[in-house]
Every structure is written in C-alpha cells, then in structure tokens.
Amino acid sequence: MFTVENQISGKAFSVSDDVSILDAAISSGINFPYGCQKGFCGQCKATIIEGEVGYDGDIPNAITAQEVNDGMALLCQCKAKTDIKLAVSELDSVTDIALKMLPCKAEFINKLNDDVVQLFLKIPGSESLQYLAGQYIDLIHPEFEPRAFSIANAPVNSSTIELHIRIVDDGKFTNYIFNELEEKSLLKIEGPKGGFYFREDSDMPIILVAGGTGFAPIKAIVEHMITVGIEREVFIYWGVRDEPDIYMSIPEKWSRIHKNIHFVPVLSEPNIKWNGRVGFVHESVLQDFEDLSKYEIYACGPPIMVESAANTFVKHGMKKDKFYSDAFEFAFEM
C-alpha cells in the first residue's frame, strides 16, 4: 500500500499497486478531474513531483512520450509503484465539471416507507458521472417528462447513483417509479446539475436543514465529509410531518459515532407520542442558535421551507453569502 499526496491541496490517500491512482482518489472522495476513464481523453493528467508510476502495457495514446518525460501521468491508467507526490488542481466548482447524458439501469429498488423509495442507478461499462456532493441529476424515461432528483450518495463511486424519490399523488413519473419500475430497467440521466454543493474551502461550522426528501443531498454532503475526514462541527435538522417520515436512521447513527455531528429531528404534525422537537424545522434551528453569523447554512427541501429559513435566518445574523439552497432562486426579504 502506497500514499499519494496532492501538493496543491495537501490531501493524501492510500492506493494499492493493483488500482489506478484515479480510482483510489475517487474511492477516497478526492475530486480529481477526469473524463472517459479509459485513457482516451487526457482530462486526468497530473504532474508527478516525486515517486514512480507505471502502466499495464503500453502508455495510453492520451499522453505523449514527451509528457511522460516531463513528469506527467494519466491517473486513470497509471498505478503507483512507490509513494507519490503529485500536483493536480482538484475540482471545487460546478463550472469545472462537464454535463453528461448517460444510460443507466435500475440496479436496486428499496421502499423506505409508504411514500419514499430508494433507487440505485448503475451506469454501465466504464462510464461514470463526476459530481460534487449536493448536486442533482435529471432522470429520463421516454414516456415521461424528465424529473430532477438530488444525488443521495457521496461521490466515492461515480458509476452508482442513489436517489430518494417521494411519490407525488398526481405525479406520473414518481408513481411509475414507486409502483411499476423494475430492477434492470433502462433509464437515462443527465447531469450533474445545480449550484448547491458542499464548499470545502472553509473551516466554519455547518448547519444542514432538510425537509422531507431534501435529506438526500444532506446525506451526500455528510458522507463526503466523513470519507475525506473533514471534522467541522455539523448540526443536522431534519423536518418531516410525522415520525415514519424519518425514513432513514443513518443521521442518528452518525451522531453516535462522530462527536462533531449532531442530529435534531423535528416533526410538524406528530400523530403518535413524540418526545422530541415539534414545529417548523427552521424554528428549531433558532431555538438552538440565536446568532447565526458564524455558520454556513445549507437548506434543502420544499421551496416554502427554504424561503422561510432564509428570510428568518438572515434576521438572526446569517450572512447571505453563507446560505446555500437547492430549492430555487429567490430574493431575500428586505
């Protein structure tokens, strides 16, 4: 096992001698740029500052002999032979990532409760989707209008996409997914999309506010933080109608295992005995934080929830440029 360290970002990860450096980076949650992953496009080139890499067979066509002599390497194809120090600009903005249309199949369908399904999509072959934690894709079926769904898994396996889909009463596509879609069915995705993504270049504590299936991109963000070892203080508030609507137990598990992660579920209309928080989720945040000036806040969920949170939080010191949302563009109340 070897260590690869990026001299630009200071991030490091482990790699075995039988796995490409790019695959190891992706598995470690490191956002190295890449494209085809087949050695054709050359988007994953990096400068090797120290150490030795090798290729299985001939050097791929996407990198020239002169580039190799100059210390360049194609990360999707090369493997470490020693500890490596390299230089590559990691992706930290949606403008750095190409939009793709890709085929996929429904690999696994899991009903999480009476109206939410967990759908895992598999991108076939050696194709993959590079994205930042928090972004979304359009899911495409020829018989329905495309629908946007947030990606619920961290970008550590970019050939598998996890979605959390809530059935909508008059939604033809969501009803099809919930009641008729079968495993191995073929679909398409287009993405990644959206300016909602986790900003890593900060050390501010974070408040994550989710409503309903708005938990999906929150899950991706927290999983990414855990994978890359980011230990900023995180406060997760998940607002739902009733206790069965908390369709995953994973945030409670995070809070038990990681001392920097805290979880507060909030029910707006509990129909059973409930000893936790009751009311609107953004109001629960304000119960705990009178001054929001020193926090980054990410909000995901119904537009009315996001707008209420934004306009309430700004009155409690939140800086407008530290509020990130996946709902829609809107103006803060003045």
Label residue 169 by pLDDT band (50, 70, 90): confident
The CATH number of residue 243's host domain is 3.40.50.80
The CATH number of residue 124's host domain is 2.40.30.10
Identify whether 198 is part of a domain: no
Helices (H), 55-144: 65-69
Of 256, 274, 257, 273, the C-alpha closest to 265 is 274
Give yes or no: residues 210 and 312 share one domain. yes
Identify whether 201 is part of a domain: no
Give yes or no: residues 76 and 126 share one domain. no
Q: Considering 193, 220, 250, which residue would you say is the last residue of a domain?
A: 193
User: How many structural domains is the chain composed of?
Assistant: 3
Identify whether 299 is part of a domain: yes
Burial of 269 (0-12, 13-18, 19+ CB in 10 A): exposed
Question: Residues 113-127: pLDDT tens digits?
Answer: 999 999 999 998 777
Question: Residues 126-135: pLDDT tens digits?
Answer: 778 899 999 9
Give yes or no: residues 63 and 99 share one domain. no
pLDDT score of 81 more than 80: yes
Give yes or no: residues 104 and 161 share one domain. yes
Cα–Cα distance measured from residue 161 to residue 183, given in angstroms and rounded to the nearest whole number? 14
Residue 233: count other Cβ atoms within 10 Å of its Cβ: 14
Identify whether 332 is part of a domain: no
Identify whether 141 is part of a domain: yes
Give yes or no: residues 185 and 279 share one domain. no
Sign of CA dihedral 86, 92, 98, 99: positive
Cα–Cα distance measured from residue 290 to residue 303, given in angstroms and rounded to the nearest whole number? 23
The pLDDT, as a whole number, for residue 327 is: 59
Give yes or no: residues 55 and 99 share one domain. no
Give yes or no: residues 62 and 76 share one domain. yes
The pLDDT, as a whole number, for residue 29 is: 85
Of 196, 167, 51, 22, the C-alpha closest to 109 is 167
Contact 124, 105 (CB under 8 A): yes
Question: Residues 190-217: pLDDT tens digits?
Answer: 999 988 999 988 999 999 999 999 999 9
Identify whether 333 is part of a domain: no
Cα–Cα distance measured from residue 155 to residue 106, given in angstroms and rounded to the nearest whole number? 18
Give yes or no: residues 215 and 297 share one domain. yes
Give yes or no: residues 6 and 117 share one domain. no
Label residue 332 by pLDDT band (50, 70, 90): very low
144: left (phi over 0), alpha (psi -120 to 50) or beta: beta
Give yes or no: residues 34 and 79 share one domain. yes
Identify whether 330 is part of a domain: no
Q: Considering 40, 57, 90, which residue would you say is the last residue of a domain?
A: 90
Identify whether 331 is part of a domain: no
The lowest-confidence range among 54-63, 217-226, 228-237 is 54-63
For 105, the domain range is: 95-193
H or E stretch covering 215: helix 215-228
The lowest-confidence range among 41-45, 212-216, 230-234, 283-287 is 41-45
The pLDDT, as a whole number, for residue 254 is: 98
Give yes or no: residues 106 and 142 share one domain. yes
Contacts of 276 (CB under 8 A, 6+ apart): 264, 265, 266, 267
pTM of the model: 0.85
Q: Considering 140, 164, 193, which residue would you say is the last residue of a domain?
A: 193
Label residue 276 by pLDDT band (50, 70, 90): very high
Mean confidence (pLDDT) of the chain: 92
pLDDT score of 307 more than 50: yes
3-state DSSP call for residue 99? coil
E strands, 33-185, in order: 45-50, 53-54, 72-74, 79-80, 84-87, 100-111, 116-122, 136-140, 147-150, 160-166
Query: Which is more confident, 94 or 148?
Result: 148
pLDDT score of 328 more than 60: no
pLDDT score of 174 more than 90: yes
Question: Residues 3-57: pLDDT tens digits?
Answer: 999 999 898 999 999 999 999 998 888 888 887 777 878 889 999 999 999 999 8
CA 22 vs CA 4, 40, 70, 105, 225: distances in Å: 10, 14, 20, 24, 19
Contacts of 246 (CB under 8 A, 6+ apart): 238, 240, 265
Read off the pLDDT of each residue in 223-244 and give the average, rounded to a whole number. Answer: 96
Give yes or no: residues 295 and 187 share one domain. no
Contact 239, 215 (CB under 8 A): no
The CATH number of residue 64's host domain is 3.10.20.30
The pLDDT, as a whole number, for residue 334 is: 34
